[in-house]
Amino acid sequence: MSEVTVIGAGVIGLSAALMAQARGLTVTVVDREGPAAGASAGNAGAFAFTDILPLASPGILKKAPRWLLDPLGPLTIPPAYALQITPWLYRFWRACSPGAVAVSTRAQTALMDLSRAELEPFLGANGTLGMLRKDGNLQVYESEAEFRASLPGWEARTAHGIEFRHMTKEEMATLQPGLCPRFTYGTFTPGWWSIADPKDYVLALADRFRAQGGTILQAEVTGLTLQGGGVYIRTNGASLTSDKVVLAAGAFSHRIAATLGERIPLETERGYNTTLPPEALDLRCQVTFGGHGFVVSRLTTGIRVGGAVELGGLSLPPNFKRSEAMLRTEGGRQWMGFRPSLPDSLPAIGRSRASAQVIYAFGHGHLGLTQSAGTARIVADLLTEQTPPVDLTPFNPHRF
């Protein structure tokens, strides 16, 4: 019997496994494809600590009707999936009320602050501090109207002490040469960090975990059963028993939780990107094109152009026209991955209602890398019966 089994070898699962190891626990990780096979490999590589505003907000409700009419726009729902996602959309709509947004923003800020505080010590302890970059992020706007529409969000960041600087076209050109003249305003946030390459980072975490005695098994977990004082883990291969389980299987987590009788409204933000050769652009910092819903990132392995939200579940085939809408070029590597998302834009972090021996850590949307160190700290505290440093009420897996 393993002392702790972590289901999921993405950035959340492996970060939690390493922090549990650091507490002296014996840990096994199980994943259907192995380390860094999903969204942890194909994301934009950002530690977006300043991104405290939830996707569920009054602002998104104003933009959504126009975006949803465009099948290649920043937010879309494939017609074949529209009926299935209706209950989730209703919860999303409820989460857009001003009161709900205020609660979500406070909770998101607390998790961001914890994640930022934990990140550098975590990287240092696991030999990956050299991968961290602090180049910041430049958000660009195509008009004065678009810029002014963003100001309430920046006021909210001001209230939480987040540093930023609004920029003129000339100032942006100095920071990031080569921007199209149509982008007339910008905002730079120096506290937006990044990793050299997200896949290489997660693979390095896996290597560190193994080097410290951890075991990583490749198997698809099909269900959990409570058995005596532990948990029986059913897989498509040899099954396992464990004293405690951490469920961090990303977009597939709700299916496993359902085998314990728990219904958690997890949906899938299908993310698309294209990665160009490193020399394709002279990119000085990460650049976000908010009006179009995508970001451009400089990685050691190339220039990655990605983003947008397609709420399309786990089964529909990829629509790579969405990648082509962000970037029309030849020679790039296209990718589509699943980002697990809950209606109020907050992750599920806490104990299962079925058993205190099962801890949930999933649903981070597009902020999994950003919130990985903070989530790992919370999970390690729960595993060792310590009080986490943030209030977990807003992250309760059963809040819906």
Residues 244-262 pLDDT 10s: 999 999 999 999 999 999 9
The answer to whether position 355 is within a domain reads yes
Count of beta carbons in the 10 Å neighbourhood of residue 374: 27
Q: Does residue 154 form part of some domain?
A: no
Domain that holds residue 263: 2-136+191-395
Report yes or no on 50 lying in a domain: yes
Give me 232's structure tokens.
């029986």
**Which tens digits make up the pLDDT trace of 42-69?**
999 999 999 999 988 877 767 766 666 6
Residue 143 lies in a domain: no
Report helix, strand or coil for 138: strand
pLDDT at residue 41 in the model:
93
d(CA 187, CA 168): 9
Q: What is the average pLDDT score of the chain?
A: 93
Whether pLDDT at 326 is above 80: no
Backbone angles phi, psi at 354, to 5 degrees: -70, -35
For residue 2, pLDDT over 70 is answered with no
**What are 353-382's pLDDT values in tens digits?**
999 999 999 999 999 999 999 999 999 999
CATH number for the domain that contains residue 240: 3.50.50.60
Strand partners, 358: 245
In a domain, 157, yes or no: no
| DSSP SS3 for 400 | coil
The token duo for 84 is 């299935």
**Number of domains composing the chain:** 1
User: 222-239: per-residue pLDDT in tens?
Assistant: 999 999 889 999 999 888
Residue 259 placed within a domain? yes
Judge whether 166 lies within some domain.
Answer: no
Is 176 inside a domain boundary? no
DSSP characters for 42-109?
A: HS--EE-TT--S-SSSHHHHHHHHHHHTSTTSSEE--GGGTTTTHHHHHHHHHHTSHHHHHHHHHHHH
What's the confidence (pLDDT) of residue 330? 67
